Amino acid sequence: MNVYEAVQSRRAVRGFSDEPVPGDVLQRVLSAAAWAPSGSNLQPWRIYVVTGAPLARLKKVAVERVSAGDPWDEREFEMYPAALKAPYGARRSTFGRERYSSLGITRDDWEARQRAAIGNWDCFGAPAALFCYIDRDLGRPQWADLGMYLQTVMLLLRAEGLHSCPQMAWSQVRETVAEAVLPPEDLILFCGMSIGYEDPDVTFIRTGRAPLAETVTFIGD
């Protein structure tokens, strides 16, 4: 698989089979991903990989918590600005429409949306997950480094025939994650990532992208 194929076939998969992900594959992917770039080579990512019984326990506790309507843990960062100005608000609405219509859920069926969202904390059935933390003293450039690192992981997973779903949703139950991975106090959970083999029976709508001219300006010949 070349890099273009890896980029184009990566998507946020929300339906995994229970086929286990071999430990040596995860080792290989994460060893290679360590070559992701970061400003001054700080390598600010702190990753916890969770599989097997500890992941099963974490999913169970998280799903029970969310299903019971337990309030989210106190936020350590805002996932989005309170008001999303143009064009971001419209892009978010389009995403929501596509995500839920692929599941046959209508816009005003709040309960069905909630049920679908709960899949996040079951890792959409995935047998492996990682949790990406960063030191709370680091700043925005280092958070950007995390993005480069996580995309590197996701592309390498494609090369191994695996899929993934990055999930900020895990930050909403960060204390439950912390009980499972026991991070030092100085770390903040940015996101989780479900990892596994795709369940081909789960339907989805491929997300679109803005026309190139909306996001890229070429200057010069």
Q: Which residues bind ligand FMN (CB under 6 A)?
A: 11-12, 14, 95, 120, 165-169, 191, 207
Nearest Cα to Cα of residue 60 among 217, 176, 201, 138: 176
Whichever of 127 and 192 has its CB closer to ligand FMN, that residue is 192
3-state secondary structure of 168: helix
CB 55 → ligand FMN: shortest distance, Å? 17
- Tokens matching residue 14: 């929300």
Q: How far is the CB of 191 from ligand FMN (least distance, A)?
A: 5
In 3D space, the residue among 17, 16, 50 whose CA is nearest the CA of residue 176 turns out to be 50
Is the N-terminal amide bond of 87 cis, ω within 30° of 0? yes
Rounded distance, CA 45 to CA 66, Å?
27
Nearer to ligand FMN, 21 or 191 (CB): 191
Looking at the Cβ atoms of 148 and 168, the one nearer to ligand FMN is 168
How near is the Cβ of 103 to ligand FMN at its closest, in Å?
A: 12
Rounded to 5 degrees, what angle do the CA atoms 154, 159, 163 make?
45
CB-wise, 23 or 87, nearer to ligand FMN?
87
Which C-beta is closer to ligand FMN: that of 35 or that of 80? 80
Nearest-Å Rg of the Cα atoms of the chain is: 18
Which amino acid is present at 144?
A
Minimum Å gap between C-beta 24 and ligand FMN is: 26
Min separation Cβ 177 and ligand FMN, Å: 13
Beta strands 163-167 and 187-196: pairing type?
A: antiparallel
